Copies of this chain bind each other. A is one copy, B any other.
Amino acid sequence: MPHQTSPVRVQMTDAAGQPEPTPELESLYRTFEEQLLVPLWTEIGELMPSQPRSKALPHRWRWKDLLAAAEQAGELVPLGRGGERRAMALANPGLDGRPFATPTLWAAVQYLNPGEDAPVHRHSQHAFRFVVEGEGVWTTVNGDPVAMRRGDFLPQAGWNWHGHHNQSDRPMAWIDGLDIPFQHYTEATFFEFGPDAAGTREAPERSRSERLWAHPGLRPLTHLGPTPATPLLAYRWEHTDHALTEQLTLEADGHAVTVEPGHAAVRYTNPTTGGDVLPTLRAEFHRLAPHTETAARRETGSSVFQVFDGQGHLTVGASSWTVGRGDLFAVPSWHSLTLSTETGMDLFRFTDAPVFERLDLHRSRQEGART
């Protein structure tokens, strides 16, 4: 292969730690290029830093801007087979304009007009929806219609048929979270089209999955054994809210049940294992009582947060923002995060932590509570 067509470029420099530039070295580097070889010694600084150096940047997206853009898309962009979803993905400013909130995580606003159908398909990517406001859409997963309402977390494991239908006379917007970037990178992606319409116009209050599974500590005898992803398709706000309220009440009574003073939190779990809801995605909900500041924490892997209610302040690495209802922000790998609020703040969070934990790559560090 003539070197002019090789994608490899090896640069001779007089940087410290590099071999002395000579014509012989130059010639060797050309040979490397021809042979499709890259020396470790010119790359090690970037590839093997002393600690994770994320390409992604901390960033905040304002909900009002996202919603305004989504509403315009609702007018201009028809929904149908091929485009599949009216979803607009957060593009991390450090990731070359790709629609990736972090290197591994996809986060998008999806928007559905009254009466519209998002057509049925299935894909290997794991997904969930989280609803910051509104209602009226049912997502139908393998024929089971699941109502979507403010505060609900709706996981949906890979390779299940699903479509959405807006049964109401008002548009609805929500956020989708997926492992699209991770499956894109690892080249694990499968996709199939299903029927164009969501398949059912049923609009029950509770999905069949909830009727079978949303009973604390109980499982049907017909579904024993672990499943890789949760069989429960809706985690309702009333349960999440109740659990968080109880944690703060117990804390007030002197019981050490919170993450730290004023900071209640729950993890959404797969009732067949007690572990994460999805094989590649973790989801949690955090509540900060008024006048709470969290300790600075960092971990390998990345997160996306959405403020569900209230407002507060956040610091990620060297960046700081004020955030309120609906605002989203990305926390890159090994970036320190601190959250604070004067008036109280509720936050939904999702991360790629299962990837790290299952592969024994997880590390975390807490830098001592600042309060």
23 contacts between A and B (CB under 8 A): A18-B83, A25-B76, A31-B69, A38-B97, A40-B89, A44-B85, A47-B184, A48-B180, A50-B190, A50-B191, A187-B300, A187-B332, A188-B300, A190-B363, A208-B250, A216-B216, A217-B268, A217-B269, A217-B277, A218-B268, A220-B257, A221-B284, A269-B271
Is there an interface contact between B69 and A187, defined as CB atoms closer than 8 Å? no
CB distance from A77 to the nearest CB of B (A): 4
CB < 8 Å: which of B47, B51, B242, B265 contacts A221? B265
**What 1/0 flags go to A183-223 for Cβ under 8 Å of B?**
11111111110000000000000001001111111111110
Q: Mark A62-80, 1 if CB is under 8 A from B, else 0.
A: 0001100100110111101
**Cβ of A343 < 8 Å from any Cβ of B?**
no
Is the CB of A333 closer than 8 A to any CB of chain B?
yes
Sort A-B residue pairs by CB-CB distance and give the 8 closest, nearest first: A17-B82, A41-B83, A38-B99, A187-B333, A7-B97, A221-B265, A211-B246, A215-B243
| A291 close to B (CB within 8 Å) | no
Question: Are B242 and A215 touching (Cβ within 8 A)?
Answer: yes
Given contacts A51-B189, A187-B302, A358-B359, contact A250 B36 (CB under 8 A): no
Which residues of A are at the interface with B, using a C-beta cutoff of 8 A? 1, 6-9, 16-19, 22, 24-25, 28, 31-32, 35-41, 43-44, 47-56, 59, 61, 65-66, 69, 72-73, 75-78, 80-93, 95-99, 103-104, 108-109, 123-125, 180, 183-192, 208, 211-222, 224, 226, 228-230, 232, 235, 239-240, 242-243, 246-247, 249-250, 255-259, 265-274, 277, 279-280, 284, 300-302, 332-334, 352, 354-356, 358-361, 363
CA–CA, A360 to B75, complex, Å? 39
Set of chain B residues within 8 Å of A93, measured between Cβ atoms:
1, 6-7, 36
CB atoms of A16 and B220 under 8 A apart: no
> Which residues of B sit under 8 angstroms from A363, Cβ to Cβ?
188, 190
The answer on a CB contact under 8 Å between A66 and B48 is: no
Contact between B108 and A40 (Cβ–Cβ < 8 Å)?
yes
The CA of A43 and the CA of B85, in the complex, are separated in Å by 11
CB <8 Å contact, B22 and A76: yes
A191-B49 contact given A41-B85, A211-B250, CB 8 Å threshold: yes
| Contact, CB under 8 Å: A266 / B32 | no
Q: Given A216-B216, A257-B220, A266-B221, answer yes or no on A48-B89 (Cβ-Cβ < 8 Å).
A: no
CB–CB B217/A361 < 8 A: no
Taken together as a complex, chains A and B put the C-alpha atoms of A153 and B287 apart, in Å, by: 31
Contact B215 A239 (CB under 8 A): yes
In contact, A218 and B189 (Cβ under 8 angstroms): no
- Residues on B with C-beta less than 8 A from A90 are 36-37
Residues of B near A354 (CB, < 8 A) are 359
* Residue of B6, B73, B187 touching A97 (CB-CB under 8 A): B6
Q: Which chain B residues border A54 with CB–CB below 8 Å? A: 187
A35 CB contact (under 8 Å) in B7, B44, B65: B65
